């Protein structure tokens, strides 16, 4: 009985991914057929070919040179994949760097027993739309709109508070004596952090990093309003496939499959830290 | 001198954690800082180690004023209560850590690690990660890591409190033996009087940031200086009962209401030292004799309230006035609750405490 429940929940969890995968290898007439086509009658790769080629006519029946300026820069999906990777990676790294250092300082040198800092988190308590408008105006003045640096700064600043909170809880679990032991052995204050404490929160860092990366990876609002020409990410590209030019479920699913890959690889790479990171603090001994 | 502290004071805002503490530890001496939690003993230790900066006062290690020196230059080793061993490193790297930072040549590091590992019997786990060690091995690694830099002063902060009772007894003996062999100066912080009594050459009893008494274990036990020390040292702890001082026909008495004790022999001392006639009579459980019949005039009638056999001894609790007195009877002592008994105090072991000042007169 228990296995039935386990298998059922596994199926429920896996089904959307299966559906995405099967759609990505279906012919157009099977995308939204009634009754549903559960297994593609003839698996094809045209959806993948489509997103990585310039077969633009196929999309909306117009030739590339007739396409509007908005579309002209992003036929191929190589660019969105590349852009997503660059933006998410650097956004995550910067947020991790700044957030981890501040978290350590707050954990060690903050006032003892003081409530955790809520202020940095306020940023994330508004709906993103509420803060994005002033940011758009700021970016326009700073001429950061539609630049890599601009989006990276946006990602980093939006996620630093999360890193700060997560990492602070990891640091709080490490006894101060670790720092003190390192200092007694002759480390500087930074040395105590870097050599003594940081290696102990590796798993926390891995989990936080993955979490932030996925957040950045799936951002839509930010890049919709601040990118578009020079900077196109996968979510933005995905949206394009539904924007009133017919519902291109096949290419969408294909793009979705590709979007799954980098977080998946990252997850596998840091897997050995993940389980420890997720259970960190759950067991004290 | 191994360690000399002068008028050391530490304030945390309003709170005075250590109040003008002065203390001298001779080279090669084992001294315990003993007191209840929050008495300032760990704060004192952290100031000696250089992890806390004193509000005022001076600390000398080997006759060098170290107030302004960073921890690494103080020639100290500190073992933490939770060991603070780097779990992510091997035992070998843990031991080498301090030496590497001090830029010790590699062959010297290897030589010292070998010595220390042999001495502490952790040679077989050198290549293991510290995270997977047993508690007593971790303990040894923690000691080894501090020992390897050859400190002139060894500081131990409740190092045994994480171990179970059996292991604690083993480590207590080992630590003491180690200290003797190396003739190491040790300052040992503990709240466990058994550890302090068994291991130290001198004990500094602290309470609320103040040094209460600093002397050998036997003096502290037999001649406590004030009521705090009298109460804190000894298990089961000393019995106290409020008395008033009375003189009659050239004799002196302690009147506790339910009984009166002739203390003519201490008459002069008490008279000279007491600030008022309100006194406290104190007596250790083992100095109370339990009898089945009244013998001398000074026996006090009571009844058995509770009997707790602890093997070698039996703790007998009996009400006297509005107090419950505990007495130590031999292991074979048998009595039923409610039995009538008579007790007598061993006269030479009676302490008389001034209630107002808390200081022990006799």
Q: List C-alpha distances in Å: B76 to A103, A208, B14, B143.
A: 30, 38, 30, 12
A52 shares a domain with A123: no
* Cβ-defined contact of B98 to A183 (cutoff 8 Å): no
A242 shares a domain with A168: yes
3-state secondary structure of B308: strand
Residue A126 has pLDDT above 50, yes or no: yes
- A26-46 confidence digits (pLDDT tens): 887 888 777 887 888 888 888
In SS3 terms, A224-261 reads as HHHCCCCCCCHHHHHHHCCCCCCCCHHHHHHHHHHHHH
Q: Identify the CATH number of the domain in which residue B153 sits.
A: 3.40.50.300
Share of chain A above pLDDT 90, in %: 26
Mean of the per-residue pLDDT values of chain B: 90
E strand or H helix at B242: strand B239-248
**CB burial string B277-316: b at 16+ within 10 A, e below:** eebbbbbbbebbebeeeeeeeebbebebeebeeeeebbbb
Choosing from B189, B209, B231, the residue where a domain stops is: B231
Task: Give bridge partners of residue B352 from the DSSP assignment.
Answer: B281
A140 shares a domain with A43: no
The percent of chain A in helix, strand and coil, each rounded to the nearest 5, is 70, 0, 30
- The B residues from 18 to 57 touching A (CB cutoff 8 Å) are 49-51
- The A residues from 140 to 179 touching B (CB cutoff 8 Å) are 175, 177-178
pTM: predicted TM-score of the whole model, two decimal places: 0.77
Residue B85 has pLDDT above 70, yes or no: yes
**In angstroms, how far apart are the furthest CA atoms of chain A?**
73
Q: Is residue B361 part of a domain?
A: no
A239 shares a domain with A149: yes
**Regarding predicted confidence, which is higher, A34 or A212?**
A212
Number of structural domains (chain A) is 2
CA within 13 Å, CB half, B220 = 29
Q: Averaged over A108-113, what is the pLDDT?
A: 74
Nearest to A185 among B81, B82, B101 (CB): B101
A15 shares a domain with A122: no
Q: Averaged over B239-255, what is the pLDDT?
A: 87
Task: Give bridge partners of residue B354 from the DSSP assignment.
Answer: B279
Residue A130 has pLDDT above 90, yes or no: no
> For residue A280, what pLDDT is reported?
55
- A228-285 confidence digits (pLDDT tens): 778 888 888 888 777 565 677 888 888 889 889 999 998 888 887 777 666 554 444 3
Which of the residue ranges A117-131, A260-274, B77-91, B175-189 would you say has the lowest mean pLDDT?
Answer: A117-131
- B26-38 confidence digits (pLDDT tens): 999 999 999 998 8
Chain B's closest residue to A191, CA to CA, is B101
> For residue A67, what pLDDT is reported?
47
ipTM, two decimals? 0.76
**Regarding predicted confidence, which is higher, B219 or A45?**
B219
- The whole-angstrom separation of Cα B141 and Cα B120 is 8
Nearest to A177 among B77, B84, B98 (CB): B84
A171 shares a domain with A127: yes
Provide the domain limits for residue B276. Answer: 236-354
- Residue A171, classified by CB atoms within 10 Å of its CB into exposed (0-12), middle (13-18) or buried (19+), is buried
Q: List C-alpha distances in Å: A226 to A138, A161, A185, A235.
A: 11, 21, 50, 14
């Amino acid at each position: 009985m228990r296995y039935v429940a386990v298998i059922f929940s596994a199926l429920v969890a896996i089904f959307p991914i299966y559906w995405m995968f099967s759609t990505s290898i279906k012919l157009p007439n099977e995308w939204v057929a009634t009754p549903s086509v559960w297994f593609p009658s003839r698996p094809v790769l045209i959806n993948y070919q489509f997103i990585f080629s310039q077969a633009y006519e196929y999309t909306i029946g117009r030739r590339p040179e007739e396409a509007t300026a908005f579309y002209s820069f992003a036929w191929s999906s190589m660019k969105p994949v590349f852009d997503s990777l660059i933006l998410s990676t650097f956004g995550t790294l910067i947020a991790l760097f700044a957030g981890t250092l501040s978290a350590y300082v707050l954990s060690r040198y903050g006032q003892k027993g003081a409530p955790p800092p809520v202020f940095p988190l306020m940023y994330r308590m508004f709906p993103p739309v509420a803060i994005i408008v002033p940011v758009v105006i700021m970016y326009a003045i700073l001429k950061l709109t539609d630049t890599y640096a601009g989006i990276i700064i946006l990602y980093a600043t939006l996620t630093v508070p999360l890193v700060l909170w997560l990492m602070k809880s990891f640091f709080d679990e490490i006894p101060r004596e670790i720092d003190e032991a390192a200092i007694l052995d002759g480390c500087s204050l930074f040395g105590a952090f870097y050599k003594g404490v940081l290696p102990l929160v590796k798993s926390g860092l891995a989990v936080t990093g993955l979490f932030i990366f996925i957040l950045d990876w799936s951002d839509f609002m930010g890049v919709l309003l601040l990118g578009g020409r020079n900077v196109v990410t996968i979510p933005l590209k995905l949206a394009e496939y539904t924007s009133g030019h017919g519902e291109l479920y096949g290419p969408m699913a294909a793009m979705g499959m590709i979007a799954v890959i980098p977080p998946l690889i990252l997850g596998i790479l840091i897997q050995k830290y993940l389980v420890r990171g997720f259970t960190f603090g759950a067991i004290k001994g | 001198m191994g360690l000399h502290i002068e008028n050391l004071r530490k304030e945390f805002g309003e709170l005075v954690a250590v109040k003008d503490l002065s203390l001298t530890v001779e080279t090669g001496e084992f001294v315990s800082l003993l007191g209840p939690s929050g008495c300032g003993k760990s704060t004192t230790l952290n100031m000696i180690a250089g992890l806390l900066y004193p509000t005022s006062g001076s600390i000398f290690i080997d006759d060098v004023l170290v107030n302004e020196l960073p921890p690494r230059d103080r020639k100290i080793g500190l073992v933490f209560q939770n060991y603070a061993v780097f779990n992510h490193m091997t035992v070998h790297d843990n031991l080498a850590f301090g030496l590497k930072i001090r830029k010790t040549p590699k062959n010297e590091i290897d030589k010292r690690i070998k010595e220390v590992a042999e001495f502490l019997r952790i040679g077989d786990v050198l290549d293991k990660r510290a995270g997977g060690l047993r508690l007593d091995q971790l303990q040894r690694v923690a000691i080894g890591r501090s020992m390897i830099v050859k400190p002139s002063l060894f500081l131990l902060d409740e190092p045994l409190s994480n171990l179970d009772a059996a292991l604690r007894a083993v480590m207590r003996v080992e630590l003491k033996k180690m200290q003797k062999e190396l003739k190491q100066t040790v300052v040992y912080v503990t709240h466990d009087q058994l550890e302090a009594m068994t291991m130290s050459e001198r004990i500094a009893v602290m309470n609320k940031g103040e040094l209460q008494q600093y002397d050998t274990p036997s003096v502290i036990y037999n001649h406590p200086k004030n009521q705090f020390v009298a109460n804190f040292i000894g298990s089961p702890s000393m019995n106290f009962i409020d008395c008033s001082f009375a003189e009659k026909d050239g004799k002196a008495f302690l009147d506790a209401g339910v009984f009166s004790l002739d203390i003519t022999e201490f008459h002069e001392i008490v008279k000279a030292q007491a600030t008022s006639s309100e006194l406290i009579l104190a007596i250790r459980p083992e100095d109370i004799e339990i009898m089945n019949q009244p013998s001398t005039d000074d026996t006090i009638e009571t009844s058995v309230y509770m009997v707790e056999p602890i093997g070698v001894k039996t703790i007998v609790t009996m009400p006297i006035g509005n107090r419950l007195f505990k007495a130590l009877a031999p292991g074979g002592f048998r009595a039923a609750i409610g039995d009538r008994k008579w007790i007598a105090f061993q006269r030479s072991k009676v302490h008389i405490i001034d209630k107002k000042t808390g200081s022990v007169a006799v």
